[in-house]
């Protein structure tokens, strides 16, 4: 009888009956740095260590950034046992050495793979090696895995990603699991039980058009995200040179309003003061990392001019006025109305608490870093082209 129960348990285990994603991870959107947007395939050990050093010395770590993620091109082949092999020229001390280095700095380590036969850059993919790779990553000390969707042929997305989820769970090391299938199979509808974040669109590039187009595609998705399961509108381009400072402020503000993962994609060793002040604007980051974990919803949509409202813990809220147009807009903003405005999803104010009223809040301007002097309940506000104003309604 004992033997029978034992065999039954083993069978259940092998069938992955107990498998699930690791809970209690990514309760707020993951923050870190990823190599792809700036460096593409040009990754190497010295670069990754340099980024880790810069993340600490620049103050990024103190601002909340913790993951350093190597994207595509770290891997070259599989050995005779099917083990994934890192590029020895570029990573002379192996991947575990790097993970140990990052951990010694108090950072976390992320790596990239692909659900198909090959990665998007043509390196070995995970198909058929999921359990083996998950064990290898656990052994190396990986804390975050991004799994891409190139060269997947007729594979089915949900089962492919579930297979890797189960492999990670079986390997036993808690790893944040990031699905990167570009929104092709509506992951927001099923990926909450599979991973901790999922890409919602194709790749971002370093231009206003790309960024604002991706942002526009998030409008109907915000209700799917929450603690432990986030929409991922792709990594940040702040500091890469293709947008103006105002546009980068808009990019960063919108990602924080969406409660998006904040994965910097620039060269952390060479940041201008403007880039630093955007990526390390702690008042804006606090919106992203708010413990309520609710993305903003679009409260007013007048085409070029939108108002987004993000409910925050403690019955506070953030309001973002967005001017998408190429011209300055002067808009009449009714703060008393915004204070009482529904924050979307469940109707009424956040978690059903009492609405804010004009008497019981003050307004913080999160880019000016000062309290906003509200002379009237309704005021005209100038918003430059491609810019935002972001306010936090703080309870007195």
Instruction: From 116-124, 160-168, 275-283, 378-386, give the range in contact with ligand GLA by CB under 6 A.
Output: 116-124
Of 137-156, which residues contact ligand GLA (CB under 6 A)? 148
Q: Where are the beta strands (DSSP E) in 19-98?
A: 31-34, 67-69, 75-78, 84-86
The backbone region for 141, taken as left when phi is positive above 0, alpha when psi lies in -120 to 50, beta otherwise, is left
Tokens of 317: 């809220």
CA distance 349 to 344: 8
> Any contact of residue 206 with ligand GLA (CB under 6 A)?
no
Of 113 and 315, nearer to ligand GLA (C-beta) is 113
Q: Which of 36, 137, 144, 208 binds ligand GLA (CB under 6 A)?
A: 36
What DSSP line would sit under 204-232, residue for residue? --SSHHHHHHHHHTTTTTGGG-BTTBEEE
Out of 148, 232, 234, 267, pick the active-site residue.
148
Q: Annotated catalytic, 203?
A: yes
State yes or no: residue 120 binds ligand GLA (CB under 6 A): yes
Contact region with ligand GLA (CB under 6 A), list: 5-13, 113-121, 251-259, 268-276: 113-121
334 is catalytic: no
Question: To the nearest whole angstrom, how small is the minimum distance from the Cβ of residue 150 to ligand GLA?
Answer: 6
Handedness of CA 268, 272, 275, 278 (dihedral sign): positive
> Around Cβ 373, how many Cβ atoms within 10 Å?
9
Min dist CB 210 to ligand GLA, Å, is 13
The answer to whether 121 contacts ligand GLA (rule: CB under 6 A) is yes
Q: DSSP assignment, residue 243?
A: S
The distance of closest approach from Cβ of residue 71 to ligand GLA in the complex, given in angstroms and rounded to an integer, is: 5
Choose which of 45, 66, 71, 143 interacts with ligand GLA (CB under 6 A): 71
Nearest residue to ligand GLA, using CB?
120
Work out the angle at residue 325's Cα, subtended by the Cα atoms of residues 319 and 331, and round it to the nearest 5 degrees: 50
State the residues that interact with ligand GLA by CB under 6 A: 36, 71-72, 119-121, 148, 180, 203
């Amino acid at each position: 009888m004992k033997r029978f129960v034992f065999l039954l348990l083993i069978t259940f285990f092998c069938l992955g009956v107990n498998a699930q994603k690791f809970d209690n991870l990514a309760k707020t959107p993951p923050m870190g740095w990823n190599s792809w947007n700036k460096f593409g395939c040009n990754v190497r050990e010295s670069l990754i260590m340099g980024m880790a050093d810069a993340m600490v010395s620049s103050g990024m770590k103190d601002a909340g950034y913790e993951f350093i993620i190597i994207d595509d091109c770290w891997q070259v082949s599989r050995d005779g046992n099917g083990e994934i092999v890192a590029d020895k020229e570029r990573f002379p001390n192996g991947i575990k050495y790097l993970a140990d280095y990052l951990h010694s700095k108090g950072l976390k380590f992320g790596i990239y793979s692909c659900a198909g036969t090959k990665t998007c850059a043509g390196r070995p993919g995970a198909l058929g090696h999921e359990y083996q790779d998950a064990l290898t990553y656990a052994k190396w000390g990986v804390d975050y895995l991004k799994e891409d969707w190139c060269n997947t042929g007729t594979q089915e997305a949900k089962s492919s990603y579930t297979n890797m989820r189960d492999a990670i769970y079986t390997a036993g090391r808690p790893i944040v699991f990031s699905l990167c299938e570009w929104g092709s199979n509506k992951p927001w509808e099923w990926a909450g039980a599979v991973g901790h974040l999922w890409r919602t669109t194709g790749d971002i590039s370093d231009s206003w058009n790309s960024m604002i187009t991706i942002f526009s595609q998030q409008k109907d998705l915000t209700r799917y995200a929450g603690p432990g399961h986030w929409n991922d509108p792709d990594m940040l381009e702040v500091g890469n040179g293709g947008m103006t400072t105002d546009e980068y402020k808009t990019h960063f503000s919108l990602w924080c309003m969406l409660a998006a993962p904040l994965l910097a994609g620039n060269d952390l060793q060479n940041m201008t003061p403007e880039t630093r002040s955007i990526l390390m604007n702690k008042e804006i980051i606090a919106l992203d990392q708010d413990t309520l974990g609710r993305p903003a919803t679009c409260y007013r949509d007048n085409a070029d001019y939108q108002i987004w409202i993000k409910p925050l813990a403690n019955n506070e809220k953030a309001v973002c006025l967005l001017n998408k147009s190429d011209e300055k807009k002067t808009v009449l903003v009714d703060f008393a109305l915004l204070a009482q405005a529904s924050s979307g999803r469940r109707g009424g104010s956040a978690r059903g608490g009492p609405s804010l009223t004009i008497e019981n809040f003050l307004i913080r301007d999160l880019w000016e870093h000062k309290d906003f002097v509200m002379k009237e309940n309704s005021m005209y506000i100038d918003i430059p082209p491609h810019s935002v104003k972001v306010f936090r309604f703080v309870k007195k």
